[in-house]
Amino acid sequence: MSGCYSPASADLLYTRQDQSYSNTALGIIQGANDPVSPLVSNIGGNMGQGLYPFLNNNGKFRVAVSLYTINAKDVINIYNPGTQATWGNKGSWTWPLKEVTTTLSNIRGMTSTGDYLYGVAYDVPVVNRVTTANDSFAEDKVYTFVPDGQADAHGEGLTAYGGDIFAIFSQVEGDPWTDGVYLPNKLVKFDSELNAVASMDMKGKNLDGSSPGSYVRSGKNLYVATLGGVQPFGDGWNPESCIEIVNLNTMEVSQAVSADTVSKSDPTFKHMFTALAVCGEKVYVQATRWTSVDPYTPGYNIRIYETSKDELAKGNIGTLIKTFAGEYGWRCALVYDDVTGYLWSGTGYSICRYDGSEWKEFNENSLGGIISAYVPMSATDDQIDPEPTPDGGGSGGGGGCNGGMGMMALAALIPVLIVSRRKRFF
């Protein structure tokens, strides 16, 4: 949903890790088949990964896999996996077409339009442009966001619409866990040359832009799930967490619903809005609560609601269709697959698939590890380069942390690792 290419999709590409958040590997679920992993093992990026299908300047299908290591620029491996029928073969992913390093560190989103691939980063709030001509993938423009006042800023989201690029930045003054405060997120509109042509304050504060579904575009409207501040444990919660809707044509924003409003009608709702998925006129809403009492112990409660665009705009998140609860895990995210009709929800260490009537869990055993990044993807015949990149085309390794997943409630880990690894706290 938040990647760079959103066609009708049939397969789910994912990354998974072991319990120590290392040994990152690539895997795939094709249609209703069982997971296949590893397609590539030990790819690097143990601190986080992002998966971004896109079309190059010739309209050919490519996949960017971003890999993050703390205090380093992300390595971005660009793959040409060949025909879709062979995506479950290891040979289709053995070697990247090209390994790229740019200005970006801790990628939160990538999107393509025209001849270019664009990205946004968390560690330093920048947006960049990379040419895709002849699969050269050379960075040629960089924009650095300047926050309000003395605030720190972080790139959180990126989407393309009407030939323009739209980036979301979070802003925080001071330490939000003590006396610091979050400011409203900022939306910046760019033309294709990466000139900032408009900017506006949003309604919400903070979001985990690396989690699939934290923002999703449907036509002219951008739907954003905001956290309302830091992500508290136990009885703490964020009444300001909200869902907002941005009309990208007019750059007007409205708050559809807040956590505080939902809690007044349902006192058991002490959750943050973490993700959305759009299926035609239908909208799925994910809300998450970290139920652990101690900040460094696990526990989660994740709810999935079903509503419509019209009802959501009126503040109605609809019917609660599923609750996931567990003692271990950190992932929460939500994407919808147009072709299969599957809704995919990240839940703790697992990913769960909803076909409209039943839920199926893919756990650590079936995935080959705990879920990290994931994205649905597909390609038409004319978008496929018939031959995948041959062996010897480049290095299959690389290091990097999350352009695709946000740090949530983890099983007991070293606090410094928790703070650094994704964006559990900020």
Digit-coded pLDDT (tens) for 123-134:
999 999 999 999
Q: In which band, very low, low, confident or very high, does the pLDDT at 32 lie, cut at 50, 70 and 90? A: confident
Which region among 50-59, 70-79, 153-162, 407-416 has the lowest average model confidence (pLDDT)?
A: 407-416
Query: What would the mean pLDDT of 421-426 be, rounded to a whole number?
Result: 37
Judge whether residue 411 has pLDDT over 60: no
Residue range 69-114, pLDDT digits in tens: 888 999 999 999 999 999 999 999 999 999 999 999 999 999 999 9
pLDDT of residue 170: 98
Residues shown for the chain = 426
Average pLDDT of the chain is 88
Residues 281 and 308 sit within 8 Å (Cβ to Cβ): yes
Could you tell me the residue ranges of all domains in the chain?
Answer: 11-421
Selection from 83-92, 289-298, 312-321 with the highest mean pLDDT = 312-321
Query: What would the mean pLDDT of 250-269 be, rounded to a whole number?
Result: 98
* % of residues, the chain, pLDDT over 70: 88
Judge whether residue 208 has pLDDT over 90: yes
Judge whether residue 392 has pLDDT over 60: no
CATH number of 11-421: 2.130.10.10
Which region among 267-276, 288-297, 378-387 has the lowest average model confidence (pLDDT)?
A: 288-297
Query: What would the mean pLDDT of 216-231 be, rounded to a whole number?
Result: 96
Q: What is the pTM of this model?
A: 0.90
Q: In which band, very low, low, confident or very high, does the pLDDT at 387 lie, cut at 50, 70 and 90? A: low
